[in-house]
Amino acid sequence: MRILFLGDIVGRSGRKAVLDELADMREKLRADFVIVNGENAAGGFGITEKICTQLLDAGADVITTGNHAFDQREALVFIGREPRLLRPVNYPPGTPGRGAGLFEAAGGGQVLVINPMGQIYMPNLDDPFAAIERELAACPLGAGCDAIVIDMHAEITSEKMAMGQFCDGRASLVVGTHTHIPTADAQILPQGTAYQTDAGMCGDYDSVIGMDKDEPLNRFTRKIPSARFTPAGGEATICGVLVETDAATGLAKAIAPVRTGGRLAPAWPDF
């Protein structure tokens, strides 16, 4: 199975790039299943039902989120009727929506997608490791599903790497989101789980993590907020990873970064 994961979509620029290019990317990469992180898709903060529908119609099979999942208040309502939109799995009981789901890929394979959020420098949620343990026990790789993808939405690289090691041999892919910068550590861990610390963002990299430069620079230099953060509007780079799994085990056979468009050097899988 070939699984494409795209990092945080930031604002109109990132959204337009993904909506324009996803169908073509899916065909060229021969992707059986596509996951995108959409938590910054609506003006940089949250996701609306309209945008959610647009991304699904464009070719995404599942949309993950993170700490901005409910910044658009309407998400508290529509997330309950859209099972393909996930919020962090370690929200406490009673939170609208769900943090994991089993989905069908092209060709009929079953993919478990889990969306934990880290605890360090992030909102105070339940233990993500305990939440992942419960989900993996309930639907183990090879017995309950054909592939497992974990979007670890976290600030700290060590927490993301620890999640990768924690899941090694039990998941197809553990990939980080949230920091909006693609890391250079795409690899297959010793027990067969594909891993990258951060997929990067789908947004304008002539920015400060996707936001127009002026206000972040003002806050760093003057220490006083003077305006809202607004997404940068230049040409976006689409960033993500492609993973190919073994049909017999569900573990990774190959992983490679995907980067196209915008300012960053392109990267395209050769498998």
- Residue-wise pLDDT tens for the chain (271 aa)? 999 999 999 999 999 999 999 999 999 999 999 999 999 999 999 999 999 999 999 999 999 999 999 999 999 999 999 999 999 999 999 999 999 999 999 999 999 999 999 999 999 999 999 999 999 999 999 999 999 999 999 999 999 999 999 999 999 999 999 999 999 999 999 999 999 999 999 999 999 999 999 999 999 999 999 999 999 999 999 999 999 999 999 999 999 999 999 999 999 999 9
- Residue 65, domain member (yes or no): yes
Q: Which residues, including other chains, have CB under 8 Å from residue 33's CB and lie 6 or more apart?
A: 1, 2, 3, 4, 61, 62, 103, 105, 106, 109, 111, 147
Q: Are strands 194-196 and 173-177 parallel, antiparallel or unpaired?
A: parallel
Q: DSSP state, 75?
A: H
- Residue 228, domain member (yes or no): no
The total number of structural domains that make up the chain: 1
Sign of the CA dihedral running 16, 21, 23, 25: negative
- Report the chain's C-alpha Rg in angstroms: 17
Closest CA relative to residue 196, chosen from 1, 7, 41: 7
- How is residue 1 written in tokens? 């199975």
- Residue 142, domain member (yes or no): yes
User: What are the percentages of helix, strand and coil residues in the chain, rounded to 5?
Assistant: 25, 25, 50
Which residues form the catalytic set?
68
50 in helix, strand or coil?
helix
Contact 139, 110 (CB under 8 A): no
CATH of the domain at 27: 3.60.21.10
- Residue 39, domain member (yes or no): yes
- Residue 196, domain member (yes or no): yes
- Residue 221, domain member (yes or no): no
Q: What strand order describes the sheet that includes 110-114?
A: 100-104, 110-114, 147-153, 173-177, 194-196, 187-188
Identify the domain containing residue 29 by its residue range: 2-205+233-260
